[in-house]
Amino acid sequence: MVGTKRNWVRTRTSRTVPRPGRLITAALGLVLLTSCTSAPAAGPATSVVTSVVTTTAAPSATVPSVVVTVPAGPGAASTTAPVTDVPVTDGPATDVPGTDVPIIDAPTTDAPTTDAPTTPAAPAVPAVTWHTSFTSAATDVAPADRIGFRITNGTLASVKMTNDAGQPIKGSRIRGNTAWAAEPILGYGRTYHLVAVAVDGAKKKTQKRFTFTTLTPGNLTYPTAFPLDGNTVGVGQPVAIYFDEPITDKAAAEKLITVTPSPKVAGSFHWIDDQQVRWRPKNYWTPGTRVKVEVKIYGHDLGGGLYGQQDKTFSFRIGKSKIAYVDDNTKTMVVKFNGKTVKQIPVSMGSDKYPTYNGVHVVAEKYRKKIMDSSTWGLTGTGAYRTEVGWASRISSTGEFVHSAPWSVWAQGSENVSHGCINVSEENAIWFYDNFGPGDIVDISNTVGPPLRVWDGFGDWQLKWNEYRKGSAL
């Protein structure tokens, strides 16, 4: 509301003169006249016409004259008389004698303003964001790491990855076309380039480029294993993993080896030395068990900057239970297949000077012909020998075999005359050779010799279960 509006009420008998200095305003300078007629009253018919005058004047301005018409009564002619204007002057306000009507501020109402309808602005489309499994421009990315990326606020339109020779690297889009992963494991010391295009919610395409280089190892180790892939072995065969370099972080290596028997059985790792780790079940394998072994060392640090040269995966099967029990008290081998005795063989074992070791031996390998050389286990000079034998089955790495010994048939079943091997006749040697193989058990007891040691051949069963488990690095 501009200025201040005042309604001045004037009667025929009095006028109120504005106080000095007060502005009398009128919208746009016009005079607004409002008249009201009172209801007739008893007595002389008179009516007072009030004129509401709104004007704007300077303090010294003269208020315009207002003409008041007074009817003489019912049916009488109206008389008109001028109203004398009172000049407006500066100075104290003076009220003209008479009856004053108080000044009333008339309420004013601002008309509501109606804004024209507007269309709300479209929400901003969030930008595509990229999350990689590697650091762009890095020079030490491990090849075994999962190489890839994912995006938010968009989908992938295309992805291309190449190595430093320009060869394409295969990959797969996953997670509803919002992620990508390289399929092959990358090489050591190679540089890779990746270009990807994503589309956001507004169909706008965004291109992203990445470059990184994989680490170069200080040294590599190559794994080998036994049993071989596809072998059928006996119930006493441990899993053996061999490394061609010493492993300093054995725990890291163990975590990268998985042994999966079917049906599942409890088992444990046991380190024979820095380059060989074994795994065996708590008890002999159950015939028919299938075992899968995964050695996933490629791209991983096995300690001191030594990395795996390649992975190795193999599977084998457990055949029937074949155990030969050899007792020095009887000088006899009792052979049982799946718990049933199938054969008894007279034997001659190591003499008291060169006794056969006691305990559970496991057949490791077989030879149609084998040179027995005493120098391989330390015997030279007097008593040394170098002799070819037939149908030899190794049962320890220190030189114990079950083999043909025609020269000692006279002692077999009654006397021990060998340098530690189990002598049998040629006929029995052939039968043993044909029926026993890797993983089958030769359990020797009651000799004067010491127990077989865990590292000697597959001497894993020489340790009780709790002791064996202590050989794990985990």
Provide the annotated active-site residues.
403, 421
> Which fold would CATH assign to domain 219-318?
Immunoglobulin-like (2.60.40)
Q: How confident is the model at residue 24 (pLDDT cuts 50, 70, 90)?
A: very low
Burial of 432-445, coded b for 16+ CB within 10 Å and e otherwise, reads bbeebbbbbbbbbe
Q: Please give the span between the terminal C-alpha atoms of the chain, in angstroms, as a whole number.
A: 87
In which residue are the tokens 């306000």 written?
93
Specify the pLDDT at position 121.
74
3-state helix, strand, coil split of the chain in percent (to 5) is: 5, 40, 55
Which two structure tokens, joined as six digits, stand for 222?
Answer: 């190559």
Calculate mean pLDDT across residues 43-68.
39
Burial class (CB in 10 A: 0-12, 13-18, 19+), 279: buried
Residue 33 has pLDDT above 50, yes or no: no
User: Across the chain, what does the average pLDDT equal?
Assistant: 82
Structural domain boundaries in the chain: 1-39+46-106, 129-213, 219-318, 322-457
Side chain identity, residue 290: R
Higher per-residue confidence, 360 vs 53: 360
pLDDT (tens digit per residue) in 420-468: 999 999 999 999 999 999 999 999 999 999 999 999 999 999 999 999 9
Span of 48-57, 195-204, 350-359, 399-408 with lowest mean pLDDT: 48-57
Residue 43 has pLDDT above 70, yes or no: no
Higher per-residue confidence, 327 vs 85: 327
Specify the pLDDT at position 191.
97
Higher per-residue confidence, 74 vs 208: 208
Burial of 59-88, coded b for 16+ CB within 10 Å and e otherwise, reads eeeebeebebeebeeeeeeeeeeeeeeeeb
List, in order, residues 6 or more apart from 99 with CB less than 8 Å away: 11, 13, 14
Residue 181 has pLDDT above 80, yes or no: yes
Q: How confident is the model at residue 116 (pLDDT cuts 50, 70, 90)?
A: low
Residue 138 has pLDDT above 80, yes or no: yes
Higher per-residue confidence, 343 vs 43: 343
Residue 110 has pLDDT above 80, yes or no: no
Residue 75 has pLDDT above 60, yes or no: no
Task: Please report, rounded to a whole number, the percentage of residues in the chain having pLDDT higher than 90.
Answer: 69
Specify the pLDDT at position 378.
84
Of 2.40.160.40, 3.30.70.20, 2.60.40.3780, 2.40.50.140, the CATH number of 129-213 is 2.60.40.3780
Kindly report the CATH class assigned to 322-457: mainly beta
pLDDT (tens digit per residue) in 264-317: 999 999 999 999 999 999 999 999 999 999 999 999 999 999 999 999 999 999
Specify the pLDDT at position 11.
35
Residue 89 has pLDDT above 80, yes or no: no
Span of 29-38, 165-174, 362-371 with lowest mean pLDDT: 29-38
Answer whether 129-213 and 219-318 agree in fold.
Answer: yes
Specify the pLDDT at position 382.
85
Beta strands in 91-141 (DSSP E): 129-132
In which residue are the tokens 């530690």 written?
420
Residue 90 has pLDDT above 50, yes or no: no
CA dihedral 356, 361, 362, 367 (to 10 degrees): 0
Specify the pLDDT at position 96.
38
